[in-house]
Structures are given as C-alpha cells and as structure tokens.
Amino acid sequence: MSLEQGQILQQRYRVVAQPGAGGMGAVYRVWDTRLNVAVAVKEMLPQPGLDSQTLSQLRMQFRQEAVVLARLNHPNLVNVTDFFEEGGNAYLVMRFIEGESLAERIARAGALPEAQVVGWANQLLHALAYCHGEGIIHRDIKPQNVIIRPDGSVILVDFGLVKLWDPRDPRTTQTAVRGMGTPEYAPPEQYDAGQGHTDPRSDLYSLGATLYHALSGLTPPTVTQRIVNPQALAPLRALRPHISSSLDAAIQRALALQPNARFQSAQEMARALVGQGPVQSPSTPPPRFQQDTARLAPERHGVPLWAWIGGGGLLALLVVVGLVAAFSGGKAAPTSAPTPSPETEAVTVPPEPVDDTETPTPAPHPVTDTPAPTDTFTPAPTATFTPEPEYRGRIVFTRVPPDTRDGNSEIFIYDLDEDQIIQLTNNGINEWLPAWSPDGRSIAFSRYRVRSNNDYDIWVMDSDGANDRGEIVIDAWDDYPVWSPDGSEIAFISTGITSDVPNSEVFVSNRAGTLRRLTYNTGRDEWPDWSPDGRRLAVGSNRDGADYDIYLFDTNGDNVSRWASTGAFEEQPAWSPDGEWLAFIRKDRDTNGNGVLERRDDGDFGDIWIGRVDGSDFRQLTFDRRAADPAWSPDGRYLVFTYVSDSSADGYFGLDDMSELWVVPVAGGEPAPLLRSAFQDTTPDWGW
C-alpha cells in the first residue's frame, strides 16, 4: 500500500511526497524530524498475490541490499543510513540526492558535450573502482540510475540488483536477484542462468552503454539486437563526427560482447577515456577474470519466474533465451526476465522552519568530548589511476610575489575556467586569508594596519578587487574571516581576555556591525568554519591546555564538543559542501626544525585528513607532512591546499620555504599540483 503524504514512519520520518516508483519499489521524499534533514525512503513494493515464502525471500534480499549499501562510503555513491520494517513492509533510508537523472538530462538536452560526459564518467569510474574493490557489482547502471547534482557531480543510485563478487571464486555470490537489468544496458553474461558469470567487466559494459546514450542522444541497441545484427551498434563518430576518435574507441571496447575483449578494470577504462591508455582489446585477460566453465553453477534459491513476468513477457524471454544460448555456445538459458528496477527521482524538499534566533552567551560553555577511536584512523584508498580532472571555478589565495611594493602578501584569484591569474591587491599592506562570499561577489580578508598595536582588521572587497572597505575595524587583532552560508554574517577570530589571560576567541559580526562573542576560554580558538546549514561552527583550539583539537559548537556558543580528540595535533577544520565531512590538518612531528610542534601560523606543516562529522570513518589523504590550509571544491570532490617545498634546502619545511597550490581527490588518489609557482602561494578558498 502506498504511503500517504504526512504519514509518519518509526515516529521519525514524515512522508513529503512520492517522487518515483517502478519495478519492486517506490522511493519517497521524506523529512527526518529527528535530524531536520531531507532523506529518501525506498519501500519494498512486491507484486500483489505472492506467496509467503516468496515474500520472505524478497524481504531478505531487500535487507541484504541495505546491508551492502550501508558499508559503502564514496562521494559518488548514495549513502544508506537506516533500515526498518513497519506494517508488514520493509524500508531503506538513504541520503537525499537533489538533482535530475542523466535520463532526464538527455531527454531535455539531447546529445551532451564530450567534456561534460567524460567528467561524469571519471566520477562514476572512481565509484566503480571503489565498489569493485569492496567486492560489489552494481549490475544496473543506466541513465536513470545516475543523478546529476546541481553542483555538477554525479551520484550512482539504486543497487537493487547488487551482487557480491569474490575474485577468488568466478561463480560470484548471489545476494539479490530481482531481474537481469535493463536490456539496452545489460551485458549478455547477465542473462546467464547460473548467476555466476558477472564480474566488474559487466558494470563497465553498462557504463559504456550509458555513456553511448549520453554522447549520441540515442538509446543503444540491446544485446539481443546486436547478436542478431552485429552492425546494430553504430560507432559514435558515425552519429556525432565531432567526438574524438579515442573516446569512440574506448566506448566501443567497453561495449564488447565478450567480457575478455572489454576493459578489465575501472582504472583501465578511466585511463582510456582521457587518452592515457590503450583502447585495443587485450590478448589475454587477467587471471582473476578467467571463467571456470566446467564448474557447476551454485544452487539457486531465487524468486520464481512467474512472480516477475506475465504471459506476454514469456514469449520475449524465450527469444532472448535462444539468442543468448547461441551466443554463449549452449549455456543454460536464463530463468527470469529483465525487470526494470525502481528509479530514484531527485526532487527539492521544502525546508522545515528553523528557529534561528541568536542569544549571546556571556559565560563559558561546558564541553562534551566526542572522541573518535584511534584505531579508526586508516589511510584512504589510493587510486591506481589519476585521469586528468576538469577543475572548475575560481580559487582566491594569498601570494608573496616579487613585484609587490614591499614584499608583503597580496590577494590573487586563479580562474580555473579561463586558466588565468588575476592580482586583486598591491598596496604595500600585508593582506591574507581571503574567503569567498556565498554568492561569489565579495571577498573577505585580513589586512594589516600600522597603529599603536600593529594589528589586523577584517576587510571586504568586490570579487574584482574594487570597493575595498573595512568591515570589522576594532582595536584588536582580527583574523580568519569566514562567511555564514547565507552571507549575512562573518565569523572571525579576535584577541580577547578570559580569566585575565590574553587569548583568541570566536566572534561573529552581522551586516549592521553588531558583534557577538561565541567562545570563552583561556586558549586559542582559530580557523573557524561554518557548517553548510549555518547551525554549527568548527574551530581548531588548544583550550584544553595541551595540543590543538577540533571543536564544534552551535552558532550561539552552546553545545560545545571536542571532535575526534586523538592525542594528535589537529587544526584548520573545513566543512564539506554537503555537511557530512570535516577536512583538517593533523600533525605528528616538528617540520620547521625548531624542535617544537607548533600551529600552522608558527611554521609547522602536516597532512590532510577527513572524517565524518559524527566522529567516524577517518581517512588520510596526504602522507608527507607538507600540507596546510585545506579548502573544498564546490562539488565536494577535491581539496585544494598549500603544499610547501624545501626551497631553503635546510631539510625542513617551514614559513621560509616556497609553497604551491595542490589538489587531492577526496575519494582517494595521489595529490597533484594545481598552480606551480616560485612564490609563497597559501590559504586558498575555492568558489564558483
């Protein structure tokens, strides 16, 4: 039975609307009343009249889908957060993905630009490399299951046909069998009755068919049509002559009917898509993909055929059986017909009303520790390929160039779209720590002022460097400005006195110039950053009297918690655009050679780590203690950071050395230079 708008599940999830249904499930947009966030809830929706044993099998398979997805953690995959049963039915709760499906984009725009499609393909191949490394095969990649987010990133959804894959056992472990995929995108081996012959190359075929559709604007032929007529699949360049020959060849190889003729891994396909690898078929497949055809297929306990097809579908099924049997040399015929899986439609959920009244708190706040276990700190998986990404947007940063009036740092922009560097300031005054406003029209920064105490103030200028004005000009040392997500306030650090001890605290200034003090302690609070929903702030602080840790608190100063206290030196937190992660710098040794482990501004560098906001799933992204100043790309796929070199040739990394802007993929991979220079390029902030 369909859920009704306003219906509450588990005393927590309120149904907002039903955006899409099909196959074996319906997906609802739902409001999580406990966390005040939008989520998607997938309901198991079997065909009416099934017997109790079949229903039990379906429920078990649906639960297995939840178990499989819950263990996945990748920025281009949908995240499962909950599973429950209610009213005799089963439900799976997922992160809500706003955007449109690739199928909708193709229907609206037709054939899509090559550069755009290749960029999406690289993201999906990163996700597939991760899935295959975890032993998981998707088995239903198609345009309907690729969601394009407003920031340009793509998410692979709907693992309803997922299989667990053991490279040591060619038979493949069956976990969920509700159909054989969509005929236009499913490879021929997916129709094998034994369910033992799909492997990662099957996903690469489906992705190739998806890319073919996106690049040509035409639905690819089914494997049945291709077996009957080998010329049914026209080369891309015959349909769209402007497509590069290397890309055409790569798609053709991905769509080879024989698995051994395809790419043998997602990494290999990614290299070929950007012209960094061969596209011809290998002469011999890697050993782990060789199929033992003499081995018996495992015993099946799937859902009966009659549960999925009617009499009209049976005739079509028999045609496919004959064709696939002919193709496979007499293998057993499939025992179930292709059944479309439910498609997740991206929609916009109206936000819940939030009481955003701010109340200054004139007293210290209690701190609650939220420690992350030290054994959860494991290196992020390193990709075996590094295809050239398509970076977009503008990066504002600080540089000390040779042509400034006094050798002080100045503010620059690196326009990635135009590959152009623009100098915004050159006035004989030290300026640094630039931060984009949310609308990209203004830049806040810290400017040195010569007066009695020679301090810094917070200034704002237009994005072209014009109309600079003092925003926060008080008799104190003010640094580290960062805009609230709605652009109405600026958080910053200012010198203060707490318990007669000079220190630095977090303040917020609104457009009227009214200041609010948020923290009260005897240590240093530095490098604040807003959560994307505007409700929390993160800072690096040594308020506990020892090393620096990351602290989180509400924007009125309440609910202070120490985040991921591990005994290491951790600072410079940066919130991911989706609000789920924090990037930060972690240090474990002195790098500038003075014998003391110090904060970034005093000269010690470290490595970039990320961790979930709930204090779990920590990953190390760099490994040579030369990083600082992490900032997320707007699409959440990369971190740009300061990368220091030993230009002084003294064997150490410190403030006297040159530095460049580098990037590292959040999903794992090798850091790479973004902006080479012989200067000190630091403190980047990435915007559109």
**N- to C-terminal Cα distance for the chain?**
44
A 10 A CB-CB count for 422 gives 15
Alpha helices in 290-340 (DSSP H): 311-328
Please check whether residue 372 is in contact with residue 586, taking contact to mean a CB–CB distance below 8 angstroms: no
Distance CA 583, CA 591 (A): 20
Distance CA 351, CA 487 (A): 18
- DSSP-based three-state secondary structure for 571: strand
A 10 A CB-CB count for 53 gives 11
Backbone φ and ψ of 70, nearest 5°: -65, -25
The DSSP bridge partners found for residue 496 are: 503
- DSSP-based three-state secondary structure for 106: helix
Q: Is 578 an active-site residue?
A: no
Q: In what order do the strands lie in the sheet with 367-370?
A: 367-370, 560-563, 549-554, 536-541, 525-530
Cβ contacts of 293 within 8 Å, gap of 6 or more:
none
Cα-trace Rg, the chain: 28
Distance CA 226, CA 248 (A): 18
Query: Of residues 32, 51, 82, 140, which has the active-site annotation?
Result: 140
Distance CA 358, CA 558 (A): 11
Distance CA 178, CA 336 (A): 8
Please check whether residue 96 is in contact with residue 39, taking contact to mean a CB–CB distance below 8 angstroms: yes
Active-site amino acid positions = 140
